[in-house]
Structure 1
């Protein structure tokens, strides 16, 4: 009886009303599992046991008109970004990438030279992270390119970091330069020559080495890659951990590249940082007693920005910025932008 009721509920409304993440939550109950699946849907990667090893597996799709436009990028960068986005999921778990598979749907008018350039981007992105391309599939597309990338990695020494694990009082720390990808998109939309942020949007760098480094620190309790905006992705950590998270706009580092563009377009730096998405930086929860030391060691090791942008708390419901609840937190594939 309950199954029938759930099936009826499932058919009510459209996916634009449900939204991406509520939809994912609803379909998870349909999937069988096994004892070798240590963690299934709901994190950046599935975690599976294969013999005496723990493997990390993820997949990511890139669709023309949704994730990229030809007049704003190159075929090389289309291939690079598709693979980099998928590999970033392994970085978020503190894993080492090993293998990449790519399936692509191709319009019949596509030139061989352009496709070869796309696959060169695929190969180079994999090689940059010490992974190899081992196969895939090709098929015809009636309209536009679509690339689906599956990545397989290893949890070295069988250690990995989940989204779940943050504790009340933990600091929320971000690395790198979040907000640049969204700024790059704005630059492209407004025909502004801003090479650094455009490169951040079209040619992101998955933080594999940084993720491995963070995974070795016992005071890092949860981690995620920033693909949908910090507000949304930090919210995923909070929800998985059964607590809330509060952030402050005054904590956002002033990135000169963002400052220049925001002044020209009258945009807000905190808005780009909190809700931008597609940065593929890492955000993590860390024991507050060890956060400053870890941040300083990270900066010295990688020469990258790293700073606390908020804190997790069992006294906060959901996500807040400057004490105000956040409703629209970041990107959702099926809900219109606000």
Structure 2
């Protein structure tokens, strides 16, 4: 390695120059901890307190070119997004997130600042949910792949699954719907504004607190909106053997979203009903449950007339939409 005029070798500029263990040291040096972490990075495995004696666990993968583009999102954005989608799954079970594990595949020629900024994003999003990154692995590969495993604690509550919705229940949502899809549409056409929608696509902001709060309120079924409202409600309908009807007049379609839809020739209601990656929390509640203002009632649970299904204003939703990893991506 050449020596700089100051007598010191230049700092490594790529992952290959830094090396596996150098990269691990660089990533772990950026981490913070929480009281739940008993043993953090640096040993064969981490140890995280589980007072409830039940651990909620989930995992997800982001693949460059499939889930993110480096010309649209910074590494920090990707880190925030990767953490958020897993932390939201924990919250949607009614649990409190406690820890994250990162598995990272990167090309050798990748600049060092990309994985370090990624880790900064993961760490900062974990802190929003009062969780911590406790370990992981790094591997050389041709395509950047970010895999997160999230852990959570139920704190003596029963988990809220997709299978508990009952006819007569209210359907309510908290968080944004359709914002990420609208932002994707903006980015797809080469624009960067309206900024609020672009940022919603780059860095979703799930309402983590709402999951455990919904469990305490008596939610009968719950999920986060990752694949689209209709698609994710379909999982609840199938698991609960019910029909769920969404009332479109109760859905929030901001004026700016309508403006974007008009500009690109898309009905914004399509984004609200089928756009994923906002990670809003949607849940069903007993009909007599008074809900806090943060929850917006958008429909109800009915007994199925035939197969369990999701309807919109009483009719089957017959437009395409929603995300299927082994099908075609939603065309916005």
So what's the TM-score if we normalise by structure 1? 0.78
Q: Residues of 2 paired with 1:89 and 1:242: CA distance?
A: 22
Offset at 1:116? 0.9
Say yes or no: does 1:331 pair with 2:323: yes
Offset at 1:263? 2.2
Q: Aligned runs of 1:197-236 on 2, under 5 Å?
A: 197-218=197-218, 220-236=219-235
* Counterpart secondary structure, 1:270: helix
- Say how many residue pairs are matched: 277
CA 1:119 to 1:51, structure 2 compared with 1: closer, same or farther past 3 Å? closer
Offset at 1:249? 2.2
Q: Residues of 1 paired with 2:310 and 2:51: CA distance?
A: 40
Offset at 1:57? 0.3
Larger Rg: 2
2:106 equivalent in structure 1: 106
* Counterpart secondary structure, 1:163: coil
CA 1:52 to 1:155, structure 2 compared with 1: closer, same or farther past 3 Å? closer
Q: Aligned runs of 1:290-309 on 2, under 5 Å?
A: 290=289, 293-294=290-291, 297-299=292-294, 306-309=295-298
Q: Residues of 2 paired with 1:51 and 1:213: CA distance?
A: 19
Residue by residue over 1:11-38, the C-alpha shift from the partner in whole angstroms, topping out at 9 and shown as x without a partner, is: xxxxxxxxxxxxxxxxxxxxxxxxxxxx
Moved >6 Å (runs of 4+): none
Q: Aligned runs of 1:1-338 on 2, under 5 Å?
A: 53-142=53-142, 144-192=143-191, 193-218=193-218, 220-290=219-289, 293-294=290-291, 297-299=292-294, 306-316=295-305, 317=307, 318-326=309-317, 328-337=320-329
**Structure 2 residues without counterparts, runs of 5 or longer:** 1-49
Q: Residues of 2 paired with 1:307 and 1:217: CA distance?
A: 14
Residue by residue over 1:246-283, the C-alpha shift from the partner in whole angstroms, topping out at 9 and shown as x without a partner, is: 22322222323312211222221211011000110000
So what's the TM-score if we normalise by structure 2? 0.79
Higher helix share: 1
* Counterpart secondary structure, 1:172: strand
Aligned-CA RMSD value = 1.6
- 2:99/2:152 contact within 8 Å kept: yes
Offset at 1:337? 4.0
**Structure 1 residues without counterparts, runs of 5 or longer:** 1-49, 300-305
